[in-house]
């Protein structure tokens, strides 16, 4: 699932479609039909991109029903995310990050050893199981650092509010975007978690038990949003003034107003 200015996008494998919901009123705003079962979705400033189980990624412009471009990404084991202007896919079977611009021009970056990733305007941040945190830049340069042993294992990683956020046991580790040096640790209701999203400089996260938020300019620690999960989260997205948290299994959706 993915948040966009118009609402929340959710893929439905059974109907081979991606559906845009109004975040506040849950009504269907738009539906996109695709050729194979969708397994992921991401939105940039101009595109809605859908990953398919045959290994393709298709991108649609605003209001378009036919794909603007279709690209073969490799395996059907893709995780799709987006920065402001680029679509990013992590092909876990091929150990590679793929990114496309609005015209569908491709760039590849090595993903050997990656366990989580976070796209940014200049490249992609990623973590490894051994505690390596890295920035692979589109300019061809790279930066690497090693996380302290006491924060491992780590979960999701996110570039937001001029910092790199890494989910760790019981909290979030902040690191510098350029040097990757750790700056601070904040407590959170749960961690490490597999889901972190950025919305207008605020961070939202969740995993098995809770959904939480933090506004870096005002909060010393993450605060719970009062959601009690019965099952682990399948996805998390924010649009406008509402957050959607979807559980695995029976597709239970928690809709939470956010300031």
Query: Please, what are the averages of pLDDT over each run of 10 residues along the chain (259 residues)?
Result: 96 96 96 96 97 96 91 90 96 93 94 95 92 85 88 95 95 94 94 97 96 92 94 96 93 90
Distance CA 102, CA 88 (A): 12
The strand order across the sheet containing 123-128 reads: 114-119, 123-128, 132-137, 142-146
* Cβ 118 vs Cβ 125: under 8 Å: yes
The pTM of this model reads: 0.94
pLDDT at 140 (0 to 100)? 75
Polymer length of the chain: 259
pLDDT at 71 (0 to 100)? 97
pLDDT at 40 (0 to 100)? 96
The strand order across the sheet containing 7-12 reads: 2-4, 7-12, 17-21, 28-33
pLDDT at 76 (0 to 100)? 81
Domain coordinates of the chain in residue numbers? 113-226
The arrangement of secondary structure in 113-226, i.e. its CATH architecture, is 6 Propeller (2.120)
Unique residue bearing structure tokens 């760790």:
168
The contacts found for 10-17 with CB under 8 angstroms, 24 or more apart, are 10/41, 10/235, 10/246, 11/38, 11/39, 11/40, 11/41, 11/50, 12/38, 13/37, 13/38, 13/39, 13/53
């Amino acid at each position: 699932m993915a948040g966009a200015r118009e609402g929340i996008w959710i893929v439905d494998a059974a109907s081979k479609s991606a559906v845009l919901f109004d975040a506040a009123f849950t009504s269907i705003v738009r539906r996109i039909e695709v050729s194979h079962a969708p397994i992921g979705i991401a939105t940039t400033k101009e595109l809605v991109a859908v990953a398919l189980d045959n290994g393709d990624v298709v991108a649609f412009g605003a209001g378009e029903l036919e794909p603007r471009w279709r690209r073969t990404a490799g395996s059907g084991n893709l995780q799709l995310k987006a920065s402001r202007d680029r679509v990013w896919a992590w092909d876990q079977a091929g150990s590679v990050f793929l990114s496309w611009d609005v015209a569908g021009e491709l760039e590849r970056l090595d993903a050997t050893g990656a366990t989580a990733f976070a796209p940014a305007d200049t490249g992609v941040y990623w973590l490894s199981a051994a505690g390596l945190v890295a920035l692979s830049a589109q300019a061809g340069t790279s930066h690497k650092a090693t996380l302290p042993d006491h924060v491992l294992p780590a979960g999701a990683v996110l570039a937001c509010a001029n910092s790199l956020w890494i989910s760790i046991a019981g909290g979030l580790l902040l690191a510098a975007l350029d040097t990757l040096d750790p700056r601070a640790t904040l407590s959170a209701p749960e961690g490490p978690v597999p889901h972190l999203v950025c919305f207008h400089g605020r961070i939202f996260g969740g995993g098995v038990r809770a959904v939480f938020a933090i506004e870096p300019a005002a909060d010393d620690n993450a605060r719970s949003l009062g959601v009690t999960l019965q099952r682990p989260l399948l996805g998390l997205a924010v649009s406008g003034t509402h957050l959607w948290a979807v559980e695995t299994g029976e597709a239970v959706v928690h809709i939470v107003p956010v300031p």
